[in-house]
C-alpha cells in the first residue's frame, strides 16, 4: 500500500503581497518628497543663471582689457538694458562671441529656453533674459538675471 504524503504548498498569500506593495508605495512617496524634483530643477536653473551672469561679466571685462577700457561698442548704458537684439543690439553679440564667449548664454526658462546664441544668429537672437548696466559714477558693470526661481529676487554680479 502506498502512503500519500501531503505537502504544504509554499508561496505568498495575496494579503502578504498587498502589504509589501503598500510598504513600497509609502517608501516611494517618502523618497519623492525628500528629493523634490521640481525644487532640484529650479535650483539647477538658478545655478545656470549665476554661471551665465559671471560668464557675461567676465567676457565684457576681457573685452575692455583688450580695448584699453573702451566698451562703448557694446552699447552698455546707465540703466539696466536687456541683452537682446532690441536692447544692447547685435554689436554686443558680435563683439563678444567667439573671442570672449563660445556662444551668448540665455536664461533657461526665457524666450530662448536656454539655447545659446551663436555668431551667425547675432542679428536676430531676441532676448537672452539677462540685463546689463554701467554705473555712471564709477564705471562698474552689473549683469543681472531677473527671472529667478525659488523666491530669489535676482541674481546679480557687479565688477
- The full set of domain ranges for the chain reads 51-158
**Average pLDDT of span 10-38:** 92
Residue 135 has pLDDT above 80, yes or no: yes
Work out the pLDDT band at 34, boundaries 50, 70, 90. Answer: confident
User: Is 159 a residue whose pLDDT tops 90?
Assistant: yes
Residue 152's pLDDT is what? 87
pLDDT for res 67: 95
CB 106 within 8 A of CB 118: no
* 147 closest CA partner among 132, 129, 128: 129
Mean per-residue pLDDT for 73-102? 91
Residue 141 bridge partners (DSSP): 134
**Which pLDDT score is estimated for 1?**
64
H runs (alpha helix) in the chain: 14-35, 37-66, 90-96
Report the C-alpha gap between 113 and 121 in whole angstroms: 15
Give the chain's mean pLDDT.
Answer: 91
Calculate the alpha carbon distances from 93 to 55, 87, 128 in Å. Answer: 13, 11, 11
Q: Does 132 or 153 have the greater pLDDT score?
A: 132
Contact between 23 and 64 under an 8 Å Cβ cutoff? The reply is no
Instruction: Map grid coordinates 544668429 to a residue.
Output: 121
Average pLDDT over residues 19-24: 97
Q: What is the pLDDT of residues 35-68, one digit of tens each?
A: 899 999 999 999 999 999 999 999 999 999 999 9
Amino acid at each position: 500500500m502506498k502512503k500519500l504524503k501531503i505537502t504544504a504548498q509554499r508561496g505568498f498569500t495575496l494579503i502578504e503581497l498587498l502589504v509589501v506593495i503598500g510598504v513600497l508605495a509609502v517608501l516611494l512617496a517618502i523618497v519623492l518628497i525628500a528629493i523634490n524634483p521640481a525644487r532640484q530643477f529650479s535650483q539647477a536653473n538658478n545655478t545656470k543663471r549665476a554661471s551665465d551672469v559671471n560668464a557675461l561679466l567676465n567676457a565684457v571685462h576681457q573685452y575692455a582689457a583688450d580695448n584699453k577700457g573702451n566698451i562703448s561698442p557694446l552699447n552698455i548704458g546707465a540703466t539696466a538694458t536687456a541683452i537682446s537684439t532690441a536692447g544692447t543690439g547685435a554689436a554686443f553679440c558680435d563683439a563678444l562671441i567667439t573671442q570672449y564667449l563660445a556662444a551668448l548664454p540665455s536664461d533657461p526658462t526665457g524666450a530662448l529656453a536656454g539655447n545659446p546664441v551663436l555668431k551667425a544668429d547675432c542679428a536676430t537672437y531676441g532676448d537672452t533674459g539677462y540685463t546689463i548696466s554701467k554705473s555712471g559714477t564709477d564705471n562698474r558693470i552689473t549683469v543681472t538675471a531677473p527671472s529667478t526661481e525659488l523666491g530669489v529676487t535676482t541674481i546679480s554680479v557687479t565688477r
